[in-house]
Chain A
Amino acid sequence: MTALMHPVIRSGILLAVIALFGTALLAAVNDLTRERIIEQERQRTLSQLHQIIPTGNFNNDLLADTIEINAPEFFKHRDAITVYRARMDDRPVAALLTVTAPDGYNGDIRLLAGIAFDGTVLGVRIISHRETPGLGDPIELERSDWILGFTGKSLDNPDPPGWAVKKDGGKFDQFTGATISPRAVVRAVQNTLLYFAANRHSIFDESAKPGNAE
């Protein structure tokens, strides 16, 4: 019994009790918030997907009909790309890809690019980025309409040299004081189109791997 009252043991027990309390509290809060957090993430993805492809144009479950691809030869990065496949009565309509532009001014720019089956861009949205506020962030739709400029474009509209910012002799605007962010986005969208052109049939044939693919 005396060993149990040794100060070291007592302190140890006290710390363990505090840790236990903290863990219990965290488990409870995690339990309470988990579903809401998942729902929030889902809502955000869904609302972005719907901005690009209106609900009437497809009738499959977009969030379930996904595959994960890996194509470093097209995208110059090894991150898995999620492809949401939109179909109308099992006919392929469009694919929406979560692409990473690795060459932003301040690291990765993640974007969602929707491409119709015929190869025209349905729309592009920025998912996340860390570009300089006020300079590079007009790539976001909340800050400027620039990103809408991709809608309706395809691999040969503009022609390949046109797939660049104006400063590089292309057709896409850059921002005052910021060329790197738009350049990275333009390149990523073009890469997505190239990938899509080369793989558009296999993208839709592959069976869905809902949730986490290995």
Chain B
Amino acid sequence: MRPIRLREILADGAWRQNTGLVVLLGLCPLLAVTNTVINGLALGLATMLTLMVSNLSVSVLRGLLKPEIRIPAFVLIIASVVTVVELLMHAFFYDLFRVLGIFIPLIVTNCAIIGRAEAFASRNAPLPSLVDGFATGLGFCLTLILLGALRELSGRGTLLSGADMLLGDWGRNMAMTIIPEYPGFLLAMLPAGAFFGLALLIAARNAWEHRQAERQAKAGVTMIPNANET
């Protein structure tokens, strides 16, 4: 087994195997809560925390988990972690908890989490697993923020509205009205807008990757075929 470099794990989780844009897992919360930056950020952070804790626990227990019981064990671990996150949010970020509502307990159904537990944490040591959880969560969180920004800006002409729900009183000053007197663009706020926004982001990412590949081909670098391990 070749040693896994932490930087590789980070790049995989955050960009090459980005949950939202490449693997296309966890789309339900991704599409549903991203009507503002703050909603996206909050769900992204909650998901990241869940991924890190669940990856770490699975990795620690990986020696004990026989193949036939690993899935129920993953489910138990993930469900416990998500419920803890939910209780903590309910207690400490009450306003945000009310906004995100059902999507906090639904983190449990985000296939990315059980996917990372199965594909990575159950085969790797605790530290790389923790980093993998962080990287995957980061990638997911960034996608949520980007999509949230896109939709909030085009739908309402603001950015970071409701920041005080996450950051307390000083967050109030962070809310920005980018386009004053903006008439609003309903489509962006509705679920359909989430699909369009995600499609645009995926297209942008693909275009960028494509250009990178072309540039490298021109420079005469032999391409290492992108290993499709999943």
Binding site for A on B (CB under 8 A): 35-36, 61, 64-66, 68-69, 72-73, 76-77, 79-80, 83-84, 87-88, 90-92, 94, 98, 155-156, 183-184, 186, 189-190
B-contact 0/1 string along A19-46, CB 8 Å cutoff: 1011101100110010011001100100
Q: How far is the CA of A21 from the CA of B76 in the complex (A)?
A: 10
A-B contact pairs, 17 of them (CB 8 A): A11-B69, A14-B65, A15-B72, A15-B73, A21-B80, A22-B77, A22-B80, A29-B83, A29-B84, A29-B88, A36-B91, A37-B94, A40-B90, A41-B94, A132-B189, A134-B155, A135-B189
Extra pairs beyond A37-B91, A133-B189, A134-B155 (14, CB < 8 Å)? A11-B69, A14-B66, A15-B69, A18-B61, A18-B77, A22-B77, A22-B79, A33-B87, A33-B88, A37-B87, A37-B94, A132-B190, A133-B156, A176-B183
Q: Answer yes or no: A56 CB below 8 A from chain B CBs.
A: no
A30 to B88, CA, bound (A): 9
In the complex, what residues of A have CB within 8 A of residue B35's CB? Answer: 133
A14 to B61, CA, bound (A): 10
- Choose from A25, A37, A44 the contact partner of B80 (Cβ within 8 Å): A25
Bound state CA distance, A131 and B169, in angstroms? 26
Residue of A nearest to B182 (CB): A134
Q: How far is the CB of A25 from the nearest CB of chain B, in Å?
A: 6
| Closest B residue by C-beta to A142 | B162
- Closest-CB distance, B20 to chain A (whole angstroms): 21
A130-152 interface with B by 8 A CB criterion: 132-135
Tell me the dominant secondary structure on chain B's binding face.
helix
Query: How many cross-chain pairs have Cβ atoms below 8 Å apart between A and B?
Result: 72
Docked Cα-Cα span, A151 to B84, in Å, equals: 42
- Of B76, B91, B156, the residue contacting A40 (CB under 8 A) is B91
In A48-93, the 8 Å CB interface with B consists of: none
**Residue pair B94, A44 in contact (C-beta under 8 Å):** yes
Q: Which of A14, A21, A37 contacts B90 (CB 8 A)?
A: A37
Which residues between 160 and 198 of chain A lie within 8 Å of chain B, taking CB atoms? 176-177
Do B66 and A7 touch across chains, with their CB atoms under 8 A apart?
A: yes
- Chain B residue at smallest Cβ distance from A41: B94
In the complex, the answer to whether B186 meets A135 with C-beta atoms within 8 Å is yes
Given A22-B80, A134-B184, A134-B189, A11:B156 Cβ within 8 A: no
In the bound assembly, the distance between CA atoms of A18 and B71 in angstroms comes to 12
In the complex, A157 has a CB within 8 A of chain B:
no
**Cα distance A36–B40 when bound, in Å?**
25
Q: Which residues of B contact A18 (CB under 8 A)?
A: 61, 73, 76-77
Residues of B with C-beta under 8 A to A22: 76-77, 79-80
Taking CB atoms, residues of chain B closer than 8 Å to A37 are: 87, 90-91, 94
Contact A26 B73 (CB under 8 A): no
B68's closest neighbor in chain A, by CB?
A: A11
Interface pairs A-B: 6 shortest CB-CB: A22-B80, A33-B91, A36-B91, A40-B94, A11-B69, A134-B184
CB B156 to nearest CB in A, in angstroms, measures 5
B87 touches which of A7, A15, A19, A29 (Cβ 8 Å):
A29
CB distance from A10 to the nearest CB of B (A): 8
In angstroms, Cα B76 to Cα A14, docked, is: 12
